[in-house]
């Protein structure tokens, strides 16, 4: 294994983590809504997500490389060429733009919760810096994630260790098992549905980056190795975040950025570091989402990439005013259900593709 290959594996892993972590996971809001509210079963849900990520990302990469695809629109059109494929394509673009809006809203919420700065300042700060980075194309995306993801991992592990040292009673396995379910259960084992919906929308959103990254790296073994490492590190981070959130239920329900509340129990430096990392992770996903749609506009509608990026930001800015928590609550589940139907089509297409090969 050469140094160059190790670098490519690292890049694939960090881009995967950076794309999925985003505003919702880094802030703790996604983990709270899709996992922590189900009590101890949430940990099984996170393991289910890890398996899902590894299998589905490998399928997306295999199909992308075999058919030399350029964007998620090419991918969706190939796997689902009929009416549902068109609906999925439009919905994916809509949700990626909405995802960009969610992150703009998250930036506003983050700075407002900690500093009391008006939300619009945080929104425009994120939009401005994202625009500058996006004009550097793919190189900007890889460079950002290569720095931010290791920093996020270090900070989350440090806060978890502090919890083990100073609040080990609430972070113990016995305590976790006693945390009640804070969800209106419609069916038995509802945590499985919640986990699959969460993993589904993450993977379809992630296809926007997986397809162009596959085209750039081109080596299937290296990409899948990187994505597997990325999925495992992501699951570890989610486990640690979920443990800390469950230790602070029900207080976390009052905050748009629950993880920032968790960090407030320790020295202010740790809170500031976490705030910076959450903002940077939001920024990383903002760049990934807009990059995905920008490339699609370029390939499908011949809209120049840079002009497309500006157009997407102009659409996302007004949507961001709906609010961070509200956008996650209403948009993500709907997109997740559509994603699961499409992912079932991906699996069918993959097996058909391998059958033809034989």
Give pLDDT tens digits for 56-103: 999 999 999 999 988 778 888 899 888 888 888 788 788 889 888 988
Say yes or no to pLDDT of 53 above 90.
yes
Nearest-angstrom CA–CA distance, 96 and 293? 7
pLDDT digits (tens, 9 = 90+) for 199-222: 988 887 788 788 888 888 888 999
Do residues 126 and 110 make contact, with C-beta atoms less than 8 angstroms apart?
Answer: no
Mean pLDDT to the nearest integer, 30-45: 94
Do residues 191 and 38 make contact, with C-beta atoms less than 8 angstroms apart?
Answer: yes
pLDDT at position 82 is 83
Indicate the burial class of 158 (C-beta count within 10 angstroms; 0-12, 13-18, 19 or more).
Answer: middle
Per the model's pLDDT, the better-predicted residue between 246 and 336 turns out to be: 246
Nearest-angstrom CA–CA distance, 200 and 198? 5
The pLDDT > 90 percentage for the chain reads 37
pLDDT at position 357 is 62
Structure tokens that stand for 231 in this block: 């999925």
Among the ranges given (11-15, 135-139, 163-167, 200-204), the one the predictor scored with the smallest mean pLDDT: 135-139
Say yes or no to pLDDT of 285 above 90.
no
pLDDT digits (tens, 9 = 90+) for 309-319: 999 999 999 99
Collapsing DSSP to helix, strand or coil, 38 comes out as: helix
Among the ranges given (107-111, 150-154, 317-321, 348-352), the one the predictor scored with the smallest mean pLDDT: 150-154
Alpha helices in 116-181 (DSSP H): 119-134, 137-166, 173-178
Cα pseudo-dihedral 318, 323, 324, 327, rounded to 10: -80
Do residues 116 and 329 make contact, with C-beta atoms less than 8 angstroms apart?
Answer: no
Nearest to 99 by CA among 77, 80, 72: 72
Nearest-angstrom CA–CA distance, 215 and 210? 9
- 3-346: CATH topology is Hydantoin permease (1.10.4160)
Per the model's pLDDT, the better-predicted residue between 107 and 166 turns out to be: 107
Among the ranges given (19-33, 116-130, 148-162, 183-197), the one the predictor scored with the smallest mean pLDDT: 19-33
Q: Is the dihedral of CA 232, 234, 240, 245 positive or negative?
A: negative
pLDDT at position 74 is 86
Task: Tell how far CA 188 is from the center of its chain.
Answer: 27
pLDDT at position 330 is 79
Structure tokens that stand for 181 in this block: 């379910």
Per the model's pLDDT, the better-predicted residue between 141 and 258 turns out to be: 258
DSSP 1: -
Q: How far is CA 119 from each of CA 58, 113, 301, 351, rounded to the nearest angstrom?
A: 39, 9, 34, 48
pTM of the model: 0.86
pLDDT at position 240 is 93
Nearest-angstrom CA–CA distance, 58 and 210? 10
Q: Which residues contact 26 (CB under 8 A, 6 or more apart)?
A: 152, 259, 277, 278, 281, 282
Nearest to 30 by CA among 40, 39, 20: 20
Say yes or no to pLDDT of 173 above 90.
no
């Amino acid at each position: 294994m050469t140094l160059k290959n190790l670098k490519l594996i690292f890049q694939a892993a960090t881009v995967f983590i950076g794309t999925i972590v985003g505003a919702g996971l880094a802030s703790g809001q996604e983990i709270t809504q899709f996992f922590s509210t189900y009590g101890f079963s949430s940990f099984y849900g996170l393991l289910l997500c890890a398996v899902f990520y590894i299998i589905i990302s490998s399928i997306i990469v295999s199909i992308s490389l075999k058919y030399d695809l350029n964007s998620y629109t090419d991918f969706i059109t190939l796997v689902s060429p009929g009416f549902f494929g068109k609906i999925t394509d439009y919905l994916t673009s809509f949700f990626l733009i909405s995802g960009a809006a969610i992150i703009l809203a998250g930036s506003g919420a983050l700075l407002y919760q900690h500093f009391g700065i008006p939300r619009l300042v945080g929104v425009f700060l994120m939009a401005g810096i994202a625009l500058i980075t996006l004009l550097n194309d793919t190189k900007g995306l890889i460079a950002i994630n290569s720095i931010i993801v290791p920093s996020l991992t270090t900070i989350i592990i440090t806060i978890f260790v502090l919890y083990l040292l100073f609040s080990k009673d609430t972070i113990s396995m016995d305590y976790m098992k006693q945390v009640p379910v804070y969800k209106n259960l419609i069916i038995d084992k509802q945590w499985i549905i919640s986990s699959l919906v969460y993993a589904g929308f993450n993977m379809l959103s992630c296809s926007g980056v997986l397809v162009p990254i596959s085209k750039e790296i081109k080596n299937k073994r290296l990409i899948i190795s990187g994505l597997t490492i990325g999925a495992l590190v992501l699951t570890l981070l989610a486990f640690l975040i979920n443990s800390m959130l469950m230790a602070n239920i029900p207080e976390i329900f009052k905050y748009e950025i629950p993880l920032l509340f968790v960090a407030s129990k320790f020295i202010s430096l740790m809170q500031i570091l976490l705030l910076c990392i959450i903002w940077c992770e939001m920024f990383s996903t903002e760049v990934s989402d807009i990059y995905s749609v920008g490339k699609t506009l370029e390939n499908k509608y011949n809209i120049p990439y840079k002009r497309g990026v500006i157009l997407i930001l102009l659409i996302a800015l007004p949507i961001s005013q709906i609010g961070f928590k509200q956008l996650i609550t209403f948009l993500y589940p709907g997109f997740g259900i559509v994603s699961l139907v499409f992912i079932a089509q991906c699996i069918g297409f993959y097996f058909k593709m391998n059958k033809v090969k034989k």
